[in-house]
Amino acid sequence: MGNKRTPLVAGNWKMHKTPAEAGNFVKLLRESVDQQGGSVEVIVCPPFPALAAVASKLAGSEIGWGAQNMHWEAKGAFTGEVSAPMLQAMGCHYVILGHSERRGHFGENDEVIRKKLTAAITCGLRPIFCLGEDLATREAGQAVEHCRKQLRAGLEGLELNQPLALVVAYEPIWAIGTGKTATAEDAVEVISALRQEIADMYGEEFASIMRILYGGSVSPESISSFMKEEMIDGVLVGGASLDIDKFTAIIQTTAKLRGKTA
Ligand SMILES: O=C(CO)COP(=O)(O)O
């Protein structure tokens, strides 16, 4: 029974780890979680300077990697930025877009995020499109509507040829880095609404295949409550993905509860 979606465990390292630290980490990760036959998809998203080290240590492994941001133009006079073709040339499969830290600290709005999503997909990168409400919005009972709106705003006019080209991550802002996770029920409520929205935009079949993750203070202790819910297709992990034991434990619990056998 259940759905056919392969669970995804993604580590967002944010602004952590030098190239040497990142290389050592993924070497250990490879030793402990590679060779599961793709029952769980695992990726890490290091900062830009560590991408080359990660790519070289993970070459030929089942573990993938992605970036945390990109510009929407392919090239040009944009000091300090990197583009989708550059990330693709580094072997990135994924790019995190729309993260609340980009929205909050760097002023990224729906229009910017939409342009980035389009550029990434056009280039063959899979965006992990993050969205989520702040505490005031949740307390006002507006969480579901807020997230639906963010999803629609990001995807407006976006052509998707296939549902695996995009991953959505529900990350309530009040749960990020706070040690306070949403309950699995909270996450299921929002994620079900997002899946319905995807069905309205792209059709039921699309919505049954596209993956929607939860993120926000995910830990070895909380992972099983999320992975018991068929509606949640994996997790986007911040702090706990920096620690090899914690990240490995999260992956192993996900494999145990939800791993797909080929
Ligand atoms: O922002 C996050 C992942 O993108 C979540 O971070 P934490 O797991 O540290 O709360």
Per-residue pLDDT of the chain (262 residues; tens, 9 = 90+): 468 899 999 999 999 999 999 999 999 999 988 666 668 999 999 999 999 999 999 999 999 999 999 999 999 999 999 999 999 999 999 999 999 999 999 999 999 999 999 999 999 999 999 999 999 999 999 999 999 999 999 999 998 989 999 999 999 999 998 888 889 999 999 999 999 999 999 999 999 999 999 999 999 999 999 999 999 999 999 999 999 999 999 999 999 999 876 4
Query: For the chain, how far is it from start to end, CA to CA, in angstroms?
Result: 14
> How many other C-beta atoms are found inside a 10 Å radius of the C-beta of residue 225?
17
pLDDT of residue 3: 82
- Beta-strand ranges (E) seen in 21-180 are 41-45, 64-67, 94-97, 126-131, 167-170
Task: Give the Å distance between the CA of 172 and the centre of ligand 1.
Answer: 10
What contacts 17, CB < 8 A, 6 or more positions away? 25, 46, 47, 50, 242
ipTM comes to 0.99
pLDDT of residue 34: 67
What contacts 192, CB < 8 A, 6 or more positions away? 231
User: CB of 131 closer than 6 A to ligand 1?
Assistant: no
User: CB of 218 closer than 6 A to ligand 1?
Assistant: yes
**How is domain 8-239 classified at the architecture level of CATH?**
Alpha-Beta Barrel (3.20)
The annotation status of 27 as a binding-site residue, yes or no, is: no
The CA distance from 216 to 173, in Å, is 8
Q: pTM higher than 0.90, yes or no? A: yes
User: CB of 236 closer than 6 A to ligand 1?
Assistant: yes
Q: CB–CB of 78/44 below 8 Å?
A: no
Instruction: Provide the token pair at 9.
Output: 């465990």
- Give the SS3 label for residue 63: coil
The CA distance from 1 to 142, in Å, is 33
The annotation status of 38 as a binding-site residue, yes or no, is: no
Report domain extents, the chain: 8-239
Task: Give the Å distance between the CA of 239 and the centre of ligand 1.
Answer: 6
The CA distance from 172 to 229, in Å, is 17
Greatest pairwise CA separation for the chain in angstroms: 52
pLDDT of residue 226: 97
93 is catalytic: no
User: CB of 167 closer than 6 A to ligand 1?
Assistant: no
DSSP class of residue 93? -
The CA distance from 235 to 172, in Å, is 13
Q: CB–CB of 211/167 below 8 Å?
A: yes
User: CB of 171 closer than 6 A to ligand 1?
Assistant: yes
Cα atoms in the Cβ-side hemisphere of radius 13 Å centred on 49: 8
User: Given ligand 1 and candidates 96, 100, 214, 218, which is best to mutate, with the most ligand atoms within 8 Å of its CB?
Assistant: 218
Closest CA to 237 of 165, 138, 137, 130: 130
171 is catalytic: yes
Residue 237 CB-density burial (10 A; 0-12 exposed, 13-18 middle, 19+ buried): buried
The CA distance from 216 to 235, in Å, is 9
Q: What radius of gyration do the chain's Cα atoms show?
A: 17
The CA distance from 209 to 28, in Å, is 31
